[in-house]
């Protein structure tokens, strides 16, 4: 006998035999026993009789005993629950897509903010450098009274607006134009006063 059959008693082995769930070798071994031992043959008849009786009895029970609810009603109920599950899943997936969609503008916002900061740093730093230069030129412990934006003309002079306009957001351009007009206005006033005559040469 194979190892598995060693672990089974006679009715158990015959139960597997009657259900056709033995391997080829196991089956051959059981058939040898049935042929050699009348007790095994009688037991097999009982097992087969039990199986037929149970199948018949359960079939009759199911025919006579109504299911918990009409089959169509149960099916409808489960299918409805299944559809709801699909809707919930689709909604969850749509939510994920929407959340993924929001990441792009967020990154754009970060990039624009960074660009603005860099631009501001690029404007403010030359202003302070130019103020120092202005004070050195003036050689006066009491520097001439100028606004910071006037000194920025040193940097503005090197800046090519035509080349950079396209890269700047509209709001920034408007702000830049306002600053430029103010600077030009103050520059003109100072030129009239002659305060920048040495520095501009």
Partner 1 sequence: MRVQADAYAMPEPDAHPAAPAEGVSDEALVQRLRAGEGPAGEALVRRHQQALIRYLQRLTGNDHQAEELHQQTWLSALDHLDRFDPAISGGFKAWIFRIATNKANDMWRSRARQRAAHEGLRLVREDSAPPAGERIEWGELAGKLKHAIERLPDAQRQVVMLRYYSGMKFIEIAELLGCPLNTALGRMHKAVQKLRQMMDEPIPAEAGGET
C-beta of residue 14 within 8 angstroms of C-beta of residue 30: yes
Query: Cα separation of 115 and 22, whole Å?
Result: 76
Please identify, among the stretches 48-56, 95-103, 160-168, 173-181, the one whose residues bind partner 1 according to the rule CB under 8 A: 48-56
Distances (CA, A) of 5 to 10, 15, 39, 174, 201: 9, 12, 17, 92, 112
Q: Which residues contact 174 (CB under 8 A, 6 or more apart)?
A: none
Is residue 109 part of the contact set for partner 1 (CB under 8 A)?
Answer: no
User: Which contiguous run of DSSP H or E holds residue 176?
Assistant: helix 170-193
Among 39, 42, 82, 193, binds partner 1 (CB under 8 A): 82
Please identify, among the stretches 2-10, 96-104, 124-132, 191-199, the one whose residues bind partner 1 according to the rule CB under 8 A: 2-10
Is residue 78 part of the contact set for partner 1 (CB under 8 A)?
Answer: yes
Is residue 33 part of the contact set for partner 1 (CB under 8 A)?
Answer: no
Among 2, 23, 42, 86, binds partner 1 (CB under 8 A): 86
C-beta of residue 1 within 8 angstroms of C-beta of residue 37: no
Please identify, among the stretches 58-66, 135-143, 147-155, 167-175, the one whose residues bind partner 1 according to the rule CB under 8 A: 58-66
User: Which contiguous run of DSSP H or E holds residue 195?
Assistant: none
Backbone angles phi, psi at 144, to 5 degrees: -65, 150
Query: Cα separation of 24 and 2, whole Å?
Result: 11
Is residue 91 part of the contact set for partner 1 (CB under 8 A)?
Answer: no
Please identify, among the stretches 8-16, 132-140, 175-183, 193-201, the one whose residues bind partner 1 according to the rule CB under 8 A: 8-16
Among 67, 101, 105, 194, binds partner 1 (CB under 8 A): 67
Interior CA angle at 49 toward 43 and 51, to 5°?
Answer: 105
- Where does this chain bind partner 1 (CB under 8 A)? 4, 7-9, 11-12, 15-21, 31, 34, 47-48, 50-55, 57-69, 71, 74-75, 77-79, 81-83, 85-86, 89-90
């Amino acid at each position: 006998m194979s190892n598995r059959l060693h672990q089974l008693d006679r009715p158990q082995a015959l139960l597997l035999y009657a259900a056709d769930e033995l391997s080829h070798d196991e089956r051959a071994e059981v058939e040898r026993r049935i042929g050699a031992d009348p007790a095994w043959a009688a037991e097999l008849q009982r097992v087969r009789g039990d199986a037929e009786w149970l199948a018949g009895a359960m079939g009759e029970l199911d025919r006579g005993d109504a299911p918990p609810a009409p089959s169509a009603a149960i099916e409808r109920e489960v299918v409805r629950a299944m559809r709801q599950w699909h809707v919930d899943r689709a909604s969850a997936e749509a939510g994920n897509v929407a959340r993924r969609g929001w990441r792009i503008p967020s990154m754009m916002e970060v990039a624009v903010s960074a660009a603005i900061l860099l631009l501001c740093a690029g404007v403010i730093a030359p202003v302070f450098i130019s103020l120092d230069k202005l004070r050195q030129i003036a050689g006066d412990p009491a520097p001439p009274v100028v606004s910071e934006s006037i000194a920025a003309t040193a940097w503005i002079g090197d800046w090519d607006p035509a080349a950079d306009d396209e890269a700047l957001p509209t709001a920034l351009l408007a702000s830049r134009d306002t600053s430029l007009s103010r600077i030009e206005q103050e520059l003109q006033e100072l030129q009239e006063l002659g305060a920048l005559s040495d520095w501009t040469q």
